[in-house]
Structure 1
Amino acid sequence: MNKPIGVMDSGVGGLTVVKEIIRQMPDEEILYFGDIKRCPYGEKSLEEVRKYTIEVADYLVANGVKMVVVACNTATAAALDILEERYDVPVVGVIEPGARSAIQSSTNRKVIVLATRGTVNSGAYKNAIINLNKNFQVESLACPKFVPLVEEMRYKDRVISRIVVHQTLKELYRSEADTVILGCTHYPLLAMEIQDYFGDSKKVIDSGYETARDVSAILTYQKARSESRDDVCHTILVHGDTERFEYILKDWLPFTLYEIKEIEL
């Protein structure tokens, strides 16, 4: 079924999930929606995030996607259950895959979740992990400076990134947790600095790999995988300024064909 997979995020962070989907399923076309104009979602109220998430998902479904991937942890926590009831196409979030990955990774059953305030306040990761294994201990920390660092395209400045990471994570440096979940799809762009800060004492993971595996499994089960082809071109829809998308696409997906369209909702 050569329909696109719809992927949505509040900004550029969801491209980290797109990268993994393309790596695992190179024949699949992506229709991506970045809601730059209203980013970041993590500092907004639950009602606002739910409203924005439904608007964006409605747009993707109206444009014929065969699946919606909510590549935003805050939006997943706020609205995944609503979207699952709202559409006939499957909807995949990033929290459940991230929780599974953390459980597989940890040896001492102690996990740290780094996320936006919205995701932390929702308790979504802690609930997902405990529901899978009640013996786990979960610490959560809101990292409000991380998303602006990425969205303002300053994440490539390693000096600034290291300073922000150190200031944000210093209270967790001596934590006994052996696994750190990057509970926001923007954070993998800071993964090197976060891993360097914790050193060998903790494994840093993101949910992109597991999310892509879920996407592949669902499409395979539904016999909805795209046919093999050499001309896959992805579409990047931007609600707002396209400049930061151009910058990160060149850095993050350098060998991928795509076109960018600036739109209004």
Structure 2
Amino acid sequence: MDNRPIGVFDSGLGGLTAVKELATLLPGEDIVYFGDTARIPYGNRSRETIMRYAEEDIWFLLSKNVKYILAACGTVSSTYPAERAAKLSVPYLGVVGATAQAAAQASQSGRIGIIGTKATVNSGSYAKFIQTLRPDAEITAIACPLFVPVIEAGRIARDDLITTTLAKEYLAPLKEAGVDTLILGCTHYPIITDIIGDVMGPDVTLINSGREGAHCVHQHLGTEDMLSEKTEGGSLSFYVSDSPDSFWEIGKLFLGEGLEGPVEQVRF
């Protein structure tokens, strides 16, 4: 047993989708979340900058004595090298591997779509993972840089004209390619699952990266005998790098009702 908290980080608040899944799967676990809200988005940054930000995010979580780190950020997961992750003092998981495995298993035709930030798509990380599992896969990857800002602006209603118009434009090449499985390669994107699903149609399976990451953490902790001795009553602690004043206004989009905890600002 290990009663230390689980650490989760993202460039903003999208990683709260993974926190929600973890809190549901593991209600006895304490969770520490860091959202780098002062420096979002990571997806348009250089590789060197993303690496520096990731190291700082990881250092912060380690300072909170976490037992496990989930990088709930597709951009970091696509960029942070496995050899560096292996040298950390606690287990580390990026959402990319878990999500790619789920997509490879779900696809019937092998035609798999990926949407994410520019950095995630340009890295080719999802495609590399998928092709090791499904060498026959036909992959179509599309960057959707405007999804994050419109989601954080609250434009998430199923009939929102702006977000629906963006989705139709971004997803058109995926529909043309005939994908039967679509990876939501940014943890913000599940918030607009209804819009994406309406555009893609009922025959396309949507893979939620936050959910898949949380399921992998659950499995790893159980396998390594690192679960908390508590089975309920886990605490949530939230940290952000920008002002926490608007945290709950946006955070509830990702967490829903009923999941709350203290919010503090961190300055690097």
TM-score (norm 2): 0.93
Q: Distance in 1 between matches of 2:98 and 2:262?
A: 29
Unaligned runs of 5+ in 2: none
Structure 2 vs 1, CA of residues 37 and 82 (structure 1 numbering), >3 Å: closer, same or farther? farther
* 1:67 lines up with 2:68 in the alignment: yes
Question: How far did residue 133 of structure 1 move?
Answer: 1.7
Structure 2 vs 1, CA of residues 33 and 80 (structure 1 numbering), >3 Å: closer, same or farther? farther
Aligned to 1:185: 187
* 1:48 lines up with 2:49 in the alignment: yes
Q: Deviations over 1:191-238 (max 9, x none)?
A: 110000111232211122321221112211221111225432211100
Structure 2 vs 1, CA of residues 132 and 177 (structure 1 numbering), >3 Å: closer, same or farther? same
Equivalent residues of 2:26, 2:231 under 8 A apart: no
Mapping of residues 181-220 of structure 1, within 5 Å: 181-220=183-222
Equivalent residues of 1:80, 1:93 under 8 A apart: no
Q: Distance in 2 between matches of 1:74 and 1:244?
A: 24
Aligned to 1:88: 89
Aligned to 1:237: 239
Q: Deviations over 1:144-187 (max 9, x none)?
A: 11111122333347232212212222233322111111011111
Aligned to 1:258: 261
* Partner SS state of residue 139, structure 2: strand
* Partner SS state of residue 155, structure 1: coil
Question: How far did residue 82 of structure 1 move?
Answer: 4.7
Question: How far did residue 91 of structure 1 move?
Answer: 0.1
Q: Distance in 1 between matches of 2:163 and 2:73?
A: 21
Aligned to 2:152: 151
Mapping of residues 158-177 of structure 1, within 5 Å: 158-177=160-179
Aligned to 1:221: 223
Equivalent residues of 1:80, 1:91 under 8 A apart: no
Structure 2 vs 1, CA of residues 182 and 118 (structure 1 numbering), >3 Å: closer, same or farther? same
Q: Deviations over 1:42-94 (max 9, x none)?
A: 11111110110011101101220000100001101111425423312100110
* Percentage of matched positions with identical amino acids: 34
Aligned to 2:108: 107
- Matched residue pairs, number? 265
| Superposed CA RMSD | 1.6
AA aligned to 1:238 is V
TM-score (norm 1): 0.95
Superposed structure 1 runs of 4+ greater than 6 Å apart: none
AA aligned to 2:23 is I
* Partner SS state of residue 177, structure 2: coil
Equivalent residues of 2:21, 2:211 under 8 A apart: yes
Equivalent residues of 1:8, 1:72 under 8 A apart: yes
Unaligned runs of 5+ in 1: none
Q: Distance in 1 between matches of 2:220 and 2:204?
A: 31
Q: Deviations over 1:13-66 (max 9, x none)?
A: 101111111111111111000001110001111111011001110110122000
